[in-house]
Amino acid sequence: MESLFVTGRVVDLILVLVVAECAVLALWPRLRGAMSLLDIAALIAPGVMLLLAVRAALTGAPHMLTAAMLAAAFACHIADVARRRRFKAPDRP
Protein backbone atom coordinates (compact mmCIF):
# COMPACT_ATOMS: atom_id res chain seq x y z
CA MET A 1 0.00 0.00 0.00
CA GLU A 2 2.83 2.38 0.82
CA SER A 3 4.30 1.91 -2.64
CA LEU A 4 1.06 3.22 -4.17
CA PHE A 5 1.70 6.56 -2.50
CA VAL A 6 5.48 6.70 -2.96
CA THR A 7 5.22 6.04 -6.69
CA GLY A 8 2.16 8.23 -7.18
CA ARG A 9 0.16 5.28 -8.52
CA VAL A 10 -2.66 6.11 -6.12
CA VAL A 11 -3.25 9.27 -8.14
CA ASP A 12 -3.22 7.24 -11.35
CA LEU A 13 -5.98 5.04 -9.92
CA ILE A 14 -8.01 8.10 -8.95
CA LEU A 15 -7.53 9.54 -12.45
CA VAL A 16 -8.95 6.30 -13.90
CA LEU A 17 -12.04 6.87 -11.74
CA VAL A 18 -12.26 10.46 -13.00
CA VAL A 19 -12.15 9.24 -16.60
CA ALA A 20 -14.92 6.77 -15.76
CA GLU A 21 -16.92 9.63 -14.25
CA CYS A 22 -16.46 11.64 -17.45
CA ALA A 23 -17.70 8.71 -19.50
CA VAL A 24 -20.80 8.35 -17.32
CA LEU A 25 -21.50 12.08 -17.56
CA ALA A 26 -21.04 12.04 -21.33
CA LEU A 27 -23.30 9.03 -21.79
CA TRP A 28 -25.93 10.07 -19.24
CA PRO A 29 -29.43 9.64 -20.64
CA ARG A 30 -30.78 12.74 -22.29
CA LEU A 31 -33.88 12.44 -20.11
CA ARG A 32 -32.35 14.63 -17.43
CA GLY A 33 -30.42 16.97 -19.71
CA ALA A 34 -26.97 15.57 -20.34
CA MET A 35 -23.96 17.84 -20.06
CA SER A 36 -22.01 18.86 -23.14
CA LEU A 37 -18.43 17.64 -23.49
CA LEU A 38 -17.21 21.20 -22.91
CA ASP A 39 -19.23 21.39 -19.68
CA ILE A 40 -17.72 18.11 -18.52
CA ALA A 41 -14.19 19.22 -19.37
CA ALA A 42 -14.65 22.53 -17.55
CA LEU A 43 -16.05 20.70 -14.53
CA ILE A 44 -13.31 18.06 -14.34
CA ALA A 45 -10.20 20.04 -15.37
CA PRO A 46 -9.48 21.77 -12.02
CA GLY A 47 -9.67 18.49 -10.12
CA VAL A 48 -7.45 16.72 -12.63
CA MET A 49 -4.85 19.48 -12.32
CA LEU A 50 -4.97 19.21 -8.52
CA LEU A 51 -4.48 15.45 -8.76
CA LEU A 52 -1.50 15.95 -11.05
CA ALA A 53 -0.05 18.41 -8.53
CA VAL A 54 -0.44 15.82 -5.77
CA ARG A 55 1.24 13.21 -7.98
CA ALA A 56 4.11 15.57 -8.69
CA ALA A 57 4.55 16.27 -4.97
CA LEU A 58 4.41 12.57 -4.05
CA THR A 59 7.00 11.56 -6.63
CA GLY A 60 9.49 14.28 -5.77
CA ALA A 61 9.07 16.28 -8.96
CA PRO A 62 10.59 19.77 -9.04
CA HIS A 63 8.68 22.25 -6.92
CA MET A 64 8.13 24.50 -9.91
CA LEU A 65 6.21 21.71 -11.66
CA THR A 66 3.97 21.26 -8.63
CA ALA A 67 3.43 25.02 -8.43
CA ALA A 68 2.63 25.14 -12.16
CA MET A 69 0.02 22.40 -11.74
CA LEU A 70 -1.56 24.28 -8.84
CA ALA A 71 -1.61 27.50 -10.87
CA ALA A 72 -3.19 25.63 -13.78
CA ALA A 73 -5.84 24.21 -11.43
CA PHE A 74 -6.66 27.72 -10.26
CA ALA A 75 -6.84 29.01 -13.84
CA CYS A 76 -9.15 26.14 -14.83
CA HIS A 77 -11.36 26.83 -11.83
CA ILE A 78 -11.62 30.56 -12.62
CA ALA A 79 -12.40 29.77 -16.26
CA ASP A 80 -15.13 27.33 -15.18
CA VAL A 81 -16.69 29.85 -12.79
CA ALA A 82 -16.57 32.60 -15.44
CA ARG A 83 -18.12 30.27 -18.01
CA ARG A 84 -20.93 29.30 -15.65
CA ARG A 85 -21.69 32.93 -14.82
CA ARG A 86 -21.76 33.89 -18.48
CA PHE A 87 -24.16 31.11 -19.46
CA LYS A 88 -26.33 31.26 -16.35
CA ALA A 89 -30.01 31.66 -17.13
CA PRO A 90 -31.44 34.99 -16.00
CA ASP A 91 -33.41 34.95 -12.78
CA ARG A 92 -37.15 34.91 -13.28
CA PRO A 93 -39.55 36.90 -11.12
pTM (predicted TM-score): 0.81
- What secondary structure does DSSP assign to 18-54, as a single string? HHHHHHHHHHS-GGG-PPPHHHHHHHHHHHHHHHHHH
Residue 91 covered by a domain: no
Share of the chain above pLDDT 70, in %: 87
**Structural domain boundaries, residue 31:** 2-86
pLDDT of amino acid 29: 66
Residue 73 covered by a domain: yes
Residue 89 has pLDDT above 80, yes or no: no
Residue 93 covered by a domain: no
The total domain count for the chain is 1
pLDDT by residue (tens digit) across 23-66?
888 887 654 566 788 888 999 999 999 999 999 999 999 999 99
Give dist(CA 7, CA 2) in Å, integer: 9
Share of the chain above pLDDT 90, in %: 54
Residue 92 covered by a domain: no
